[in-house]
């Protein structure tokens, strides 16, 4: 068994254990519910919404960044704000992982939200819940659906660089690998396709899809599932070497509007990342879901909201587990 396989197995065991603990916490009353802060911090949701709105107005790209933070947090030992921790002491930050390095952003917005909330109601609202609320508000601000966010998560006292490297789906993963990573979190193929629709906003760097343009299968040829006129446009700013950090819209049709054009792009073989296009080319069930959401935006919105709630329920720390961090970047002293 190689090192990578061992890491995946270890992370999988951790996730399964946490899912079991999450079910146990539900039985003893440690469940999440939207009204969690109604009495202890009634303005919490308003504060998050206002700070996120200001950040997105200043930089529209921030909506996608905040949505992505929640996703990358939940896929590593549950939705516990471990992604926000900086390195220090025994903690090695998940910000250094392959999926987050030079990529994850929005940490300053989280700092600002937390600072305002701590003034309003100290030691009350978790960073994990702020991430979940910010993801919902970012979706709404860009034209997407709204949903009631179940609340009551607590923050982790640690991070896992190895699980971040192994659990978060990568742009070059096969369809089966991506689906397996979702299933390990208690998510299914419907959740996979719906949540991938978040790529209707945001950017990706050249380094994330270069091999599709030049050497997809190690034979020196481009990906034959990529529309060639689209590929030619991409090559102008994503050369064989250099330009690694050059940015491209994940959805070139409506890059800052949350809609269903992402799925229409996949049907036209114009998905930017390999992990996007395989939803249409490698599996019959996911292909039909892509078609459904491409033809019916309302159905996509409904399922996206359901899947976001489901993802937000991955192994939360509740009750007396974890803590309420005073600073999202470090554990309490």
How distant is the alpha carbon of residue 179 from its chain centre? 15
β partners of residue 317: 154
Please say whether the beta carbons of 76 and 213 come within 8 A.
Answer: no
Q: Which of 39, 72, 123, 199 is catalytic?
A: 72
Q: Quick check: is 72 catalytic? A: yes
Q: Which residues are catalytic?
A: 72
């Amino acid at each position: 068994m190689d090192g990578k396989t061992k890491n995946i197995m270890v992370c999988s065991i951790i996730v399964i254990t946490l899912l079991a603990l999450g079910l146990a916490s539900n039985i003893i009353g440690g469940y999440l519910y939207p009204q969690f802060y109604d009495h202890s911090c009634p303005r919490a949701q308003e504060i998050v919404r206002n700070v996120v709105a200001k950040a997105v107005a200043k930089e529209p790209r921030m909506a996608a960044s905040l949505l992505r933070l929640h996703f990358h947090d939940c896929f590593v030992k549950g939705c516990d704000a471990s992604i926000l921790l900086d390195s220090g002491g025994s903690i090695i930050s998940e910000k250094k992982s392959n999926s987050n390095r030079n990529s994850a952003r929005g940490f300053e917005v989280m700092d600002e939200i937390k600072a305002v909330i701590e003034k309003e109601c100290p030691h009350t609202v978790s960073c994990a819940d702020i991430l979940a609320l910010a993801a919902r508000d970012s979706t709404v601000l860009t034209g997407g659906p709204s949903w009631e966010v179940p609340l009551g998560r607590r923050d982790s006292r640690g991070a896992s660089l190895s699980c971040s490297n192994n659990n978060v789906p990568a742009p070059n993963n096969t369809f089966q690998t991506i689906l397996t990573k979702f299933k390990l979190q208690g998510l299914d193929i419907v959740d996979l396709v719906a949540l991938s629709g978040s790529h209707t906003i945001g950017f990706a760097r050249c380094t994330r899809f270069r091999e599709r343009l030049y050497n997809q299968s190690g034979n020196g040829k481009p990906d034959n599932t990529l529309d060639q006129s689209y590929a030619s446009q991409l090559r102008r700013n994503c050369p064989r070497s250099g330009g690694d950090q050059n940015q491209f819209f994940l959805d070139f049709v409506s890059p800052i509007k949350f809609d269903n054009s992402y799925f229409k792009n996949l049907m036209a073989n114009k998905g930017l990342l390999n992990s996007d296009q395989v939803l249409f080319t490698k599996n019959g069930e996911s292909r039909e879901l892509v078609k459904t959401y491409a033809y019916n935006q309302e159905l996509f919105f409904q399922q996206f909201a359901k899947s976001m709630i489901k993802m937000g329920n991955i192994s939360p720390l509740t009750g007396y587990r974890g803590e309420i961090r005073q600073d999202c970047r470090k554990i309490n002293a």
